[in-house]
A and B are shown apart, each in its own frame.
Chain A
Amino acid sequence: MKARIKFQKYGSMKFVGHLDIMRYFQKVFRRANIDNEYSKGFSPHQIMSFAAPLGVGLTSDGEYLDVQLLSADSPEVMIERINAALTEGFHIIGYRPLLETEPNTKTVTAMALVASADYLVSLKDGYEIGADINSKESFAEKFIKFMQSEEIVIGKKTKKSEMDVDIKPMITLVAFEEEDYEAKRRNTLEEHLKTEETSLSNKKPDSMAEVYENGIKIYLQLDTGSSSNLKPELVVEAFCESLGVAYNQYAWQSHRIEVYTRNSETGKLAGLDQVDR
């Protein structure tokens, strides 16, 4: 059987890279005595796949990991068992059994489902942007202006070459306050989730995003996945460039809030924990 696990990654664990996280979770499941399915051969490994690898330096409230199990307890018990085997910086907030793949159909990996993700990007205390930005109001004002340009072209490096890309269409949501973000976000979701989400909102776990005193921050929804992918750092870099100020990669903290899949018919989004496959 398949199950999708949703977890948070925060604090000093942002310095641990994706490959090490994979090794980490293999050991977590062993400690928690989870009945994972193993691949065959002389060096068997647990069958698992991550939806969207998180870069070093980023924190997250919405990481997804699909596992293949031979047996399992109820979601509540599974969450409890796995959490008991975790160290500070990781926390399981969701567990959803997935539908079995129909015979003779291709298995859909979590990674292939990913279409979009929400981020919170904050200016860390002790850093300045320049260009007379000294409050969250002046930041918002400049950013809105930045988003009003026809196109936002950046040089994007791929494995083979560097080419100019317009990233504006890849930015599907911009907000500066949490309430505004929540309202806009709901509009991007599939109909049945809008209400469901509201009713579950009191159950939502506390965000583990770092909070900074300066208050300068931005919520972004960006294309994510194999067909179109935009990292939040690139948006901030393009913004700084438009202002004519140097972009300091260490000045910003990016935090992933949620990862979505897109309904190809409606074009609407659903969190990866809201679907059964």
Chain B
Amino acid sequence: MRKLALSDEILLTIEKPARYIGGEVNMKMKDPSKVDIRFCMCFPDVYEIGMSHLGIQILYDMFNRREDTYCERVYSPWVDMDKLMRERNIPLFALESQDPVKDFDFLGITLQYEMCYTNILQVLDLSGIPLYAKDRTEEHPLVIGGGPCSYNPEPIADFFDFFYIGEGETAYNEILDTYKEYRKAGKTRKEYLERVAQIEGMYVPAFYDVKYKEDGTIASFTPNNEHAPKTVKKQVEMNLSDTYYPTAPLVPFIKATQDRVVLEIQRGCIRGCRFCQAGMIYRPTRERSLEYLKKCAYEMLSSTGHEEISLSSLSSSDYSCLQELVYFLIEEFGSKGVNISLPSLRIDAFALDVMSKVQDIRKSSLTFAPEAGTQRLRDVINKGLSEEAILGGAMKAFQSGWNKVKLYFMLGLPTETEEDIEGIAILSDRIAREYYTIPKDQRNGKVAITSSTSFFVPKPFTPFQWSRMITGEEYVQRQRFLKGKMREQLNAKSIKYNWHEAEVTELEGVFARGDRRISKAIVDAYQSGCLYDSWSEYFNYEKWMNAFVANGIEMSFYNGRERDTEEIFPWDFIDVGVTKAFLLREYKRAKSEKVTPNCKQACANCGAKEFGGGVCFEEDLCMADLEEVTDESKN
């Protein structure tokens, strides 16, 4: 029987002991003494969230297919466990073998959102691994970062031995093969990192020097090691229908956030919304074939026993075989008690038909993400969703019996005016008015509209990477203004308004576009007790502000500046395919309220075509057609 790292007494004292015992369905068991490489994969948040992440499941499966490698998992211990581990000096351990993380060859940490940065330090700290990469020796694991936040790794660069920029399917085998070879040859950690730096997509922060100008912006960013390239090129898996996919994913005992089979139908997004980082960094859009997905669905449902399957992508309605896939899933699995959980779809006849088949109309709601309240601002952000489309879609749904609508907006978008903010309230009200045009005897009680606003954060590799981000005070003002406007609406009683906290978003802004000088503040904040910052009950703004002050960091430098077009950004050394020239062009078009067509309408020459596949090669429209198509799409 497997032995556990924790005593019965500890496991019976803490919340949800199943977070720490492993042993889940489809967990891989290997004899650690019979492998060459031990890799510990980490999601720096609580187990239930980490276990819901598809990326780790893909890599877990891919690594464990290698006979020479044993990939295990670790998550952030929850606060109760964290306290006990510190009090009793219990080293952090991996779930599979229950062995200390410190004894592994690699610790791979996925970086899904900025507010997990103190949890990274927690994992290193509890493992007994020095926080700063420079303090690690031959006996410590190599700490790797990957995932969306590695597209600006600079605020946390000092904590990592290297970053893997891009999709994991392509280069990890080379990383592992080389590691084995180098270790057999008795090479040092530094020699190995020099070799890693030559693998496309790998960024070894220690091999680069940053110099700053007097005004605080970057003067130069240059390699200090001859093996390190000037630019690091994002990794992309170009054939998504012939690659690794976890056909037997792990199934936790306790209910995870995603308690279902997740089918990733495509990567990337054709839409080009100007605020959206994922829409830029995952270009070009690549689809998985229908046959491949059908096969995966079968295998995953039978290997997990899940009673639900959901589709994952940035914009499912754009997947070319969506109808066929969804009808296949309903017909094939619906009768076997499998729920089909739909991603947010563009509301059309197909969506309504499918929704009425798989959901209880009385309980489910329609979701729209207009993001901005007026057409002007939606043009600025290139969100191709018109008021007519929203009202038309809502009306069709109302006529079929729905009466709940969820709307998502952002406050603080570039060029936002009071009229745009008020537009959020007006649009919410218009949807309600639309509902009440249906005769009383034909409608389904009252309409319930929930409008939520989040705080816009400019992200690297988006056209808004140059933008100023509004301050917390401005945000609160705008949110209050909107709240007042909501109350003035005719159907105010049918509209519920929710908003996100401003403080945590300000920090997110600093981390998103920050540089290497921030790492010290993250360490200080962590050491003063900050942890689980993405959990509002644990977020402590004051401690963060103290840490910033102590390290001479001004939030306004990172958030409050309209950045110069000549400025060198901390993330400029990364080549994501999409060029800086394109992003700047898009920023200018945003300011002049010009819409850019999506990738299926016309190619805007973003640069992602160089990867040689995906949507870029499906149509052959050229830049010359661009203006024409733009005008058409407006009509």
Contacts and interface: CB of A to CB of B under 8 A. Distances in A.
A89 interface: yes
A214 B318 CA distance: 66
Contact of A16 (B1, B18, B27, B251): B18
Contact of A88 (B2, B13, B303, B306): B2
A250 B8 contact: yes
B11 A15 contact: yes
Interface of A: 10-13, 15-17, 20, 23-24, 26-31, 33, 38, 41-46, 56-57, 85, 87-89, 124, 249-250, 253
Interface string B1-20: 11010001101110001100
B36 interface: no
A15 B255 contact: no
9 contacts: A16-B254, A27-B25, A27-B305, A31-B25, A42-B359, A56-B17, A85-B305, A88-B23, A250-B9
Given A30-B305, A31-B305, A250-B9, A42 B360 contact: yes
A227 to B, nearest CB: 29
A88 B21 CA distance: 12
B359 A28 contact: no
Contacts of B301: 30
Interface residues of B, number: 32
B255 A45 contact: no
A82 to B, nearest CB: 12
B contact patch SS = loop
Interface string B297-325: 00001111111000000000000000000
Contact of B337 (A33, A46, A56): A46
Interface of B: 1-2, 4, 8-9, 11-13, 17-18, 21-25, 27, 251, 253-255, 301-307, 337, 339, 359-360, 363
Contacts of B253: 16, 20, 23-24
B299 to A, nearest CB: 12
B105 to A, nearest CB: 26
A12 B18 CA distance: 9
A12 B21 contact: yes
A18 to B, nearest CB: 12
B8 A57 contact: yes
A70 to B, nearest CB: 12
Nearest to A253: B8
Contacts of B1: 10-12, 88
A43 B11 CA distance: 33
Given A16-B253, A43-B339, A57-B12, A27 B24 contact: no
B24 A31 contact: no
A12 B20 CA distance: 10
Given A31-B302, A87-B24, A124 B307 contact: no
Given A27-B251, A87-B24, A250-B9, A15 B305 contact: no
A17 B363 CA distance: 29
Nearest to A24: B253
B8 A45 contact: no
Given A89-B23, A250-B8, A20 B18 contact: yes
Contact of B304 (A10, A31, A41): A31
Contacts of A41: 360
Given A10-B1, A27-B306, A250-B13, 10 more contacts: A11-B2, A15-B11, A26-B307, A27-B25, A30-B301, A31-B303, A42-B363, A44-B337, A87-B25, A250-B12
Contacts of A29: 305
A20 B254 contact: yes
A274 B348 CA distance: 58
Contacts of A10: 1
A30 B303 CA distance: 9
